[in-house]
Amino acid sequence: MDSNQIRTTFLEFFKGKEHLIVPSAPMIVKNDPTLMFTNAGMNQFKDLFLGNSPVRHKRVADSQKCLRVSGKHNDLEEVGHDTYHHTMFEMLGNWSFGDYFKKEAISWAWELLVEVYGLPKDRIYATIFEGSPEEGIDRDNEAYTYWKQFLPEDHILLGNKHDNFWEMGDTGPCGPCSEIHFDLRDDAERAKLDGRELVNAGHHLVIEIWNLVFMQFNRKANGQLEPLPAQHVDTGMGFERLCMVLQGKQSNYDTDVFQPTIQRLAAMAGKTYGKDAKADIAMRVIADHLRAIAFSIADGQLPSNVKAGYVIRRILRRAVRYGYTYLGFNEPFICKLVEGLVQQMGDQFPELRAQQDLITKVIAEEESAFLRTLATGINLMDGVIAKAKEAGKDTISGSDAFLLYDTYGFPIDLIELIAHENGMKVDGDAFSKELQKQKERSRNAAAVDTDDWVELFPISESKFVGYDSLEADVRISRYRRV
Ligand code: ATP
Ligand code: MG
Ligand code: MG
Ligand code: MG
């Protein structure tokens, strides 16, 4: 199945279960002071869960454009280095607003994955909430019972509050969640792990694909939980990850979602994807960031020096610098990838096609502007790093960092990234002081993100540790056997 068929199949499946299919909300959030970007499918339904607006349709499904680059969900540093976290991604979701609950949510998820998409059962794991005695919350035995109809015991794992209990905020709807993980390891690799089931969920090739959240409690202001009068279901499945498992790949970037862009980019750079680790990371970063930037502009957010606009500018400059350093581009190149992206995704996302010219033009201008100072800035940074190393230091001073930021337009996270690549760090406190000092005369105040209005889903503590790291293979999962 190609990715467009995969998306359509999801939506058709839930349409068949009497869900109303709704369009994606914009990725740029304009009317919520606490959230800059949509970071989960449920954002647009916040008021329904809070009971602030009437429920017109009890069952809804969609594919939501999400961006996780700020606030509580910030995956930026993972992107390109691992193969399944993106800045911009699509989250497929189905919702029940006071209608069906765990039984249907779990059995439909299974039906879709196994019977419709044809995924092999023996590679599927589910996690359920282990319970929290101190709060008087039981293990989610209900979810366990439903999973038990489909999965053997050793494929159902217990997860803690961090991974398997979702809260909207300090107060409000909350409840256990159940994640579905898929094992991408090849057979030989799996055979070696006989009797070591605990290593499953949490291994870097056992990937979380779908999160089913069951809202059944209300957290009161005094911290106590009471049952919700109406129970809700909120699910989110990473579309690109689903494409990876269905297309039999071990990396989202090997699917037809990213390959066309990567192949175009490789041809432009005169390189072959898959031959050189650093160039590969750069190609993944650029293929990812292109989408984040293009979709943001299509949604009306241009790169700028403040807030959401600065986040987009930072993403763009990060991509430019990867292309410059690892692929040898010193002329605008990202703008040349827009046309292909629009051809590929314009039918599903007409806003992309409608804004194609603007997107291309804005990216081209941004790229040229940054490329004008990039070379000088990088030379300067090389000099600073060499000098610091000579002096036996491992830190780039606040004033050097500030010069790069202020004069050469290097976002601080880019300076940190280059520093890390050279085994160094940046004196962030001193940088902040310099920034403070200049604040009045410089309008370049870094966009400081407010927190999201909610913790949409618990943020995973697990970190990608690298393919060649032995640790990844022997790491004991944070999930336990039932
Ligand atoms: P992970 O633990 O892999 O970071 P998550 O638990 O943060 O994922 P959720 O908040 O549960 O993710 O979101 C629902 C689904 O969206 C996940 O199961 C995953 O398939 C997908 N997803 C989450 N973050 C990303 C991302 N940065 N890029 C691509 N897909 C993602
Ligand atoms: Mg999750
Ligand atoms: Mg996450
Ligand atoms: Mg997770």
Assess if residue 445 is contained within a domain.
no
413 and 272, same domain (yes or no): yes
Of 33-37, 99-103, 148-152, 412-416, give the lowest mean pLDDT range: 33-37
Residues flanking ion ligand 2, Cβ below 5 Å: 211, 457
* pLDDT tens per residue, range 379-419: 999 999 999 999 999 999 999 999 999 999 999 999 999 99
pLDDT of res. 47: 87
The confidence score (pLDDT) of residue 197 equals 52
Question: Which of the residue ranges 193-207, 213-227, 384-398, 427-441 would you say has the lowest mean pLDDT?
Answer: 193-207
Asked if 176 and 284 sit in the same domain, the reply is no
Same domain, 236 and 276: no
Residue type, 303: P
Of 93-97, 157-161, 193-197, the one with minimum mean pLDDT is: 193-197
- pLDDT given for residue 273 in this prediction: 98
Query: So what's the pLDDT on residue 154?
Result: 87
pTM for the predicted model, two decimal places: 0.90
Name the nearest CA neighbour of 113 among 252, 254, 249, 241.
241
For the stretch 19-33, what's the b/e string if a residue is b when 16 or more beta carbons lie within 10 angstroms of its beta carbon?
beebebbbbbbeeee
Give pLDDT, residue 444: 43
Mean pLDDT of the chain: 89
- Across residues 282-291, what is the average pLDDT? 98
AA identity, residue 280:
D
Nearest CA to ligand 1 atom 22: 238
Residue 405 lies in a domain: yes
In a domain, 264, yes or no: yes
Q: What is the best residue among 43, 168, 241 to mutate for testing ligand 1's pocket, by most ligand atoms within 8 Å of CB? A: 241
268 assigned to some structural domain: yes
CA distances 189 to 183, 252, 464, Å, are 11, 20, 18
- Residue 416's pLDDT is what? 95
3-state secondary structure the chain: CCHHHHHHHHHHHHHHCCCEECCCCCCECCCCCCCCECCCHHHHHHHHHCCCCCCCCCEEEEEEEEECEECCEECCCCECCECCCCCEEEEEEEEEECCCCHHHHHHHHHHHHHHHCCCCHHHEEEEEECCEHHHCECCCHHHHHHHHCCCCHHHEEEECHHHHEEECCCCEEEEEEEEEEEECCCHHHHHHCCCCHHHCECECCEEEEEEEEEEEEEECCCCCEEEEEEEEEEEEEEHHHHHHHHCCCCCHHHCCCCHHHHHHHHHHHCCCCCCCHHHHHHHHHHHHHHHHHHHHHHCCCCCCCCHHHHHHHHHHHHHHHHHHHHHCCCCCCHHHHHHHHHHHHCCCCHHHHHCHHHHHHHHHHHHHHHHHHHHHHHHHHHHHHHHHHHCCCCEECHHHHHHHHHHHCCCHHHHHHHHHHCCCEECHHHHHHHHHHHCCCCCCCCCCCCCCCCCCCCCCCCCCCCCCCHHHHHCCCCCEEC
Give percent of the chain with pLDDT exceeding 70.
89
Q: Within this chain, do residues 181 and 54 fall inside the same structural domain, yes or no?
A: yes
Give 317-332 pLDDT, tens digit per residue: 999 999 999 999 999 9
Look at residue 444 and tell me if it is in a domain.
no
Q: Is the pLDDT of residue 190 over 90?
A: no
| 447 part of a folded domain | no
Q: Are residues 467 and 379 in the same domain?
A: no
Q: Ligand 1: residues whose CB is within 6 Å? A: 40, 68, 75, 85-86, 89, 91, 208-211, 236-238, 240-241, 456-457, 459-460
Question: Do 131 and 189 fall within a single domain?
Answer: yes
CA distances from 158 to 6, 168, 198 (A): 30, 22, 11
Average of per-residue pLDDT across 40-52: 90
Closest ligand 1 atom number to CA of residue 242: 20
Q: Which domain holds residue 416?
A: 258-438
Same domain, 424 and 463: no
Residue 202 has pLDDT above 70, yes or no: no
Q: Give per-residue pLDDT as tens, 11-41.
A: 999 999 999 999 999 999 988 877 899 999 9
Residues with Cβ within 8 Å of residue 319, at least 6 apart in sequence: 285, 286, 289, 290, 293, 334
| 357, pLDDT greater than 90 | yes
**Residue 291 clears pLDDT 90, i.e. is over it:** yes
CA of 75 to the centre of ligand 3 (A): 7
- Are 105 and 229 part of one and the same domain? yes
Measured by CA distance, the residue closest to atom 7 of ligand 1 is 459
Task: Confirm if 246 and 1 have CB atoms less than 8 A apart.
Answer: yes
| 57 is a domain residue | yes
Q: Encode pLDDT of 56-90 as tens digits.
A: 999 999 999 999 998 888 999 999 999 999 999 99
Do 264 and 290 belong to one domain?
yes
Residue 237, pLDDT above cutoff 80: yes
Say how many domains are in the chain: 2
Q: What percent of the chain has pLDDT over 90?
A: 78
C-alpha to C-alpha distances, 60 to 49, 130, 350, nearest whole angstrom? 13, 29, 21
Q: Which atom of ligand 1 is nearest to the CA of 210?
A: 18
Q: In this structure, which residue's CA is closest to atom 27 in ligand 1?
A: 85
Tokens of 173: 């709807």
Q: How remote is the CA of residue 341 from the centroid of ligand 2, in Å?
A: 28
Would you state the pLDDT for residue 201? 53
Band of residue 467 on the pLDDT scale cut at 50, 70, 90: very low
Question: CB of 468 within 8 A of CB of 462?
Answer: no
How sure is the predictor about 439, in pLDDT bands with cuts at 50, 70 and 90? confident
Report the complex ipTM.
Answer: 0.99
Residue nearest to atom 2 of ligand 1 (CA): 460
**Probe ligand 1: pick from 27, 91, 258, 455, max atoms within 8 Å of CB?**
91
Work out which ligand 1 atom sits closest to the CA atom of 180.
Answer: 18
Residues 371, 467: one domain?
Answer: no
Query: Same domain, yes or no, for 186 and 279?
Result: no
In a domain, 30, yes or no: yes
pLDDT band for position 450 (cuts 50, 70, 90):
very low
CATH code for position 248: 3.30.930.10
Residue 102 and residue 121 in one domain = yes
